[in-house]
Structure 1
Amino acid sequence: MVLTEPIVYKNIEGLKEIQDVVSFQEEIWGKDAVTPLPQLIAAAHHGGILIGAFNKGELLGFSYGFSGYKNGEAYLISHMTGVCSKYQNYGIGLQLKLKQRNWAVDYGYSKIVWTFDPLEARNAYFNLNKLGAYAKTYYPSYYGEMTDKLNLGLPSDRFLAEWDICSNRVKNTLAGVIQNDISVKNYRHLLAWRNLRNVPYPLDEEPVKGEKGYLIPVPVNFQSLKQENDEAAKAWRYKLRNAVRNALSEGYTVTGVLKNSNTHVHFYILENENLSTH
């Protein structure tokens, strides 16, 4: 798809464009995962933010967030971000998050949070490596049993991504300064795996022993894996859940994704450090 005019990013507050966002959600996730029109209108006019990406008036993507407050801290909850599949290689998702960050900083927020599926490696890389977010909370079956086309058939486990938008970690990541220490490749694996007829299978978990960091494998393309082998997909859900939660309970934080071009898995990087102070 070739764009002949630049993509325009703007806050959405008008009824017609909010209606377009509702229809857009249905196209991506199906009707069972839509944030309804009244909630979007209320949030857009009372402290939330709805940002759209447009080309010649056509909605290509959006990001929706509303205010949250917990344990004495106010933050923005980035509830949904979606980009039309035809335009997913134009950097629209990144620009939407950056526009959201700029708005949040101006509005007085210092943190944005959202959830994402731990088995979606591409999303994880974007959230952790591209944006500089981190995860130290894992929610098993966060939304219960979902029936939309991306989540059908498996517990809806989620990481809580925490994005300290004013931190040096985030500023350096967005500026391209931060790179993973080469030593992370030598971290011990907390979950074994193998390829069986070109399908990756999780095997035995290893105990956490207080080392500086660990690696945990995650399938490169979980949606394809689900279509090819439902048994393997379910095994990954439960094995990854156990391995990650064991490490998080010992004080580790998910800090990034180590890409592995030679196999069917990438690796989560878990390190024993407090990134919220960086």
Structure 2
Amino acid sequence: MTRPAAMTIRELRGLSELQLTPPLARAIWGDDDHPEDPALLQVVQRIGGLVAGAVDDAGQLWAYLVALPTREGSVQHSHRLGVHPTCRGAHLGERLKRFQRDWALQRGIQQVRWTFDPLLLINAHLNIHRLGAVVRTFLPDYYGQMSGINAGAPSDRFEAEWALRSARAEARLAGHAQEPWPEQALHPLDGDLPGALPDRLAVCVPADFSRMLREDRDGALAWRRATGPLFTRLFAGGHTLTDVHLARAQYLFTRTGSAC
């Protein structure tokens, strides 16, 4: 498939457009993926959720987002965000999240939360560095055994918290990032953790965990085993994931009164 020159980010309209989501989901996450039934997505929209997509002039869907209402009226849970492999690097994920932010604020929603793989550097960079979300929660093997591109390793997840009107989110969305980074970084595979952890800690992560999972399963599992206890300890000790350095393949954890 050839990437179109222009796409519109908007809510999907009616069952005919919602029916475009299952084939797109399988193109993104693999043939074993179990996408939501389009009729269920129609219900999600009706009860106050969001189903949005990137649609070209011919009506083809290239990316989509599904977000659900929660028991807290001011909080939305973002369930799915996927971009067709042909369109990677076109910033459709960020455009969808910006659309989601505007949509949510218009309806009185102040925070959006979602889960993502702790070792997917590209996703973390979007979520933390570009959007201004933070992470304080680690969820070990959250989805149990998974299939498709996620198969082969425990389904550990971070929970992102995106305070939509926070000064942090406003600054990151405007392209301003001023986090000071430590000169040295901790590598999770280089032995035991130190007894005391500093208030600002840079942690190395794989540059391409998805590729490692495909080509070096033992290496991917070693990263999972090493990082789970580290993330658990950091969050239990009051650290927050506040920044991501794409070129260095590092996360920045800070321990302060408030990261938002």
Structure 1 residues 62 and 69 mapped into 2: Cα distance closer, same or farther (>3 Å)? Answer: same
Unaligned runs of 5+ in 2: none
Residue identity opposite 1:164 in structure 2: A
In structure 1, how many angstroms separate the alpha carbons of the residues matched to 2:47 and 2:152? 36
Name the residue aligned to 1:43. 44
Residue in 2 that maps onto 1:52? 53
Count of residues in correspondence between the two structures: 257
Matched-pair contact (CA < 8 Å) for 1:208–1:246 = no
Alignment partner, residue 168 of structure 1: 167
Aligned residue number for residue 251 of structure 1: 238
Q: Return closer, same or farther for 1:8/1:208 CA change in 2, 3 Å cut-off.
A: farther
Matched residue SS, 2:172: helix
- The answer on whether the counterparts of 1:20 and 1:59 sit within 8 Å (CA) in structure 2 is yes
Q: Deviations over 1:188-225 (max 9, x none)?
A: 52x44xxxxxxxxx231313525221122110001111
Render the CA deviation track for 1:229-260: whole Å, top value 9, x for unaligned.
Answer: 21111010010111111111101001111234
> Contact 1:142/1:157 (CA < 8 Å) preserved in 2?
yes
SS at match of 1:220: coil
Q: Is the 8 A contact 2:119 2:206 kept in 1?
A: yes
Q: Does 1:156 align with 2:155?
A: yes
**1:49 & 1:260 partners in 2: Cα distance?**
33
Structure-2 residue corresponding to 1:209: 196
Equivalent-residue separation in structure 1 for 2:138 and 2:11 (angstroms):
31
Structure with greater strand percent: 1
Aligned to 2:91: 91
> 2: CA distance between counterparts of 1:125 and 1:241?
19
Contact 1:136 1:254 in 2 (8 A): yes
**Aligned partners of 1:119, 1:210: CA distance in 2, in Å?**
21
Contact 1:205 1:243 in 2 (8 A): no
Where structure 1 has 5 or more consecutive residues not aligned to the other structure, the ranges are 193-201
- Describe the superposition over 1:90-143 as per-residue Cα deviations: whole angstroms up to 9, x where unpaired: 211111100011000001010000000011111111111010111000000000
CA RMSD in angstroms comes to 1.8
Aligned residue in 2 for 1:66: 68
Identical counterparts, % of pairs: 29
TM-score computed with the length of structure 1 as normaliser = 0.87
**Contact 1:76–1:112 at 8 Å: present in 2 too?**
yes
Which sits farther off after the overlay, 251-260 or 25-34?
25-34
